[in-house]
Structure 1
Amino acid sequence: MEIKKILTRLYVNDINTAIDFYRKLLNQDCDLSFKYTEMNLELAQIGNILILGGTNEALEPFEDTKATFLVDSVIEFREFLLKNGAVIVRELKKVPTGMNLTVKHLDGTVIEYVEYKSINL
């Protein structure tokens, strides 16, 4: 079980403006960019920042999630988290980048766990 990377999440209405700003601010290219049409969102990753773009209505269900943890096995983390007081917010699901799970930790923090595979667009 390993957390490979932690991404800070930002929620925006204009993803193109946000991508341009954070590329300049971090002096890094956009590592990943795709439309998640099922949820009416666009996502982009620049360094350790995950930008979620959409309307206020599309973003609202996700805004309590504070970070995304990229992990080697979301199933192993699910078992560990449940044994350690976490509560499932959104159950295991296939997503464009692999599989994810969203949980509320014992301290109340909501985190998305993603087992990254590849973009399935």
Structure 2
Amino acid sequence: MTVLATLARVYIDDLDVALPTFVELTGEQPRLRFGYRDLELATVGGYLLLAGSEEALAPYRGTHATAIVESIEGVLRIAEQLGGEVLDGPNEVPTGRNLTVRPPGGATIEYVQFKQPHDQPSHERA
């Protein structure tokens, strides 16, 4: 199982206001922009921007990063072998499938397996 990219999660209240700053910082245009539940999300460079009200963002703030992976099943196997706790998923999401895991040590990470390889963010690790 390979991690293809890691995205820093940035929680914001207005995507349209924040996006130009991240475009300037990274020199890249957003690769993805989509809605999920009460949130608007976009990827730009090594960032995953999550925009919404405080109430809408609250359930997601405890997740430290998003990792793009080749296989959700591979993450599940590793979590099981090493004692990780599956907090949510696997779920079908607009980009493919996701899973949120707390591996030993306490970090909470969302893993995403894209349904379309061309939708993936840059293969550089953030």
Pick the TM interval, shorter chain. Answer: over 0.9
Alpha-carbon shift at residue 92 of structure 1 (Å):
0.5
1:73 — aligned with what? Answer: 71
1:15 — aligned with what? Answer: 15
2:84 — aligned with what? Answer: 86
Gaps of 5+ in 2: 120-126
- 1:44-83 matches, within 5 Å, as 44-83=42-81
Alpha-carbon shift at residue 61 of structure 1 (Å):
0.3
More relative contact order, 1 or 2 (CA 8 Å, 6+ apart) = 2
State the Cα deviation string for residues 83-116 of structure 1 (Å, max 9, x = none).
Answer: 1011011120000000000011101000000001
Confirm whether residue 102 of structure 1 aligns to residue 100 of structure 2.
yes
What percent identity do the matched residue pairs reach? 36
RMSD: 1.1
1:28 — aligned with what? Answer: 28
SS at the partner of 2:64?
strand
Alpha-carbon shift at residue 79 of structure 1 (Å):
1.4
State the Cα deviation string for residues 40-71 of structure 1 (Å, max 9, x = none).
Answer: 01000001100000110010000010100100
Distance 1:69 1:85 in 2: 19
Distance 2:26 2:89 in 1: 33
SS at the partner of 2:58?
helix
Specify the code of the residue in structure 2 equivalent to 1:56.
E
1:3 — aligned with what? Answer: 3
Number of corresponding residues: 117
Gaps of 5+ in 1: none
Alpha-carbon shift at residue 20 of structure 1 (Å):
1.0
